[in-house]
Homo-oligomer: A and B are copies of this chain.
Amino acid sequence: MATTTTKRRARARRGEGDKLRSEILGAAQRLLLDTGDEEAVSIRAVADAVGVTPPSIYLHFADKEELLYAICRKLFEELDELFQSEVSNSSTPLQSLLIRGRAYVRFGLEHPEHYRIMFMRKRDPIVEARHSEEDIPVFDHLVDDVRRCMEAGVVPQGDPLPGALALWSVVHGLTSILISNKQMPGLHDNLDALIDYHLAVGLLGIQNAAQPG
């Protein structure tokens, strides 16, 4: 109720035009978090939340897609920081992978709409970033852990990328299934056990499977 117009934002001073950009990003992210609904993040709603008119958005983002893309990049950084802090206490790379996986699924379940726009939209930021040779630390760190597992002899030697991709596939598959099936009976009790089982499948899988190619 009452998502009506808020106060008008004071015009920025000369040279501070970029202020609006970050305000838009912040408002959009907050909107996504509060409503828990991607559809609520419309250009008009964001503009209204910032206290500005819709066309002003286009002074900083070419289109809605680019706004969402910018949000994603921010979320990816935050996700990487989350993972790195969780992993910091782990003693082995294998344990790191386990912790990483658990954190991944938990993040998805706790922030489903964030997860959606990050991993379930048409234009996938991770793919686009890799394509444009950008760094995506959250993925690179996963690959690093797999590589360390290889160096430690706990995963067969070779290119770490397929293994990392396979692990990502397992947790991403599980997460997106869980997200789309919040009500699926008998899935969300024993949730931790289910997650760990999937991680075991992935980890034992890359330990025992022959490298592709």
Chain B residues in 8 Å Cβ range of A204: 204-205, 208-209
Chain A interface main SS type:
helix
Pick the contact of A165: B177, B200, B208, B210 (CB < 8 A): B177
A194 on the interface (CB 8 Å rule)?
Answer: yes
B173 touching A196, Cβ below 8 Å: no
| Min CB–CB distance A34 → chain B (angstroms) | 18
B169 touching A169, Cβ below 8 Å: yes
A44 on the interface (CB 8 Å rule)?
Answer: no
A120 on the interface (CB 8 Å rule)?
Answer: yes
A27 on the interface (CB 8 Å rule)?
Answer: no
A201 touching B190, Cβ below 8 Å: no
Interface residue stretch chosen among A46-54, A77-85, A90-98, A180-188: A180-188
| Min CB–CB distance A108 → chain B (angstroms) | 12
A171 on the interface (CB 8 Å rule)?
Answer: yes
The digit string for A149-171, where 1 denotes a CB below 8 A from any CB of B, is 00000000000001001101111
Interface residue stretch chosen among A4-12, A14-22, A59-67, A123-131: A123-131
**How big is the A interface, by class?**
35 or more
Chain B residues in 8 Å Cβ range of A127: 177, 180-184
Chain B residues in 8 Å Cβ range of A120: 120, 176, 180
| Min CB–CB distance A44 → chain B (angstroms) | 19
A147 on the interface (CB 8 Å rule)?
Answer: no
4 residue pairs, one from A and one from B, having the closest CB atoms: A201-B205, A173-B173, A169-B173, A127-B181
Instruction: List 10 contacting pairs A-B, 8 Å CB cutoff, sorted by A.
Output: A127-B180, A127-B181, A130-B184, A130-B185, A166-B201, A170-B201, A172-B177, A173-B174, A200-B209, A201-B205
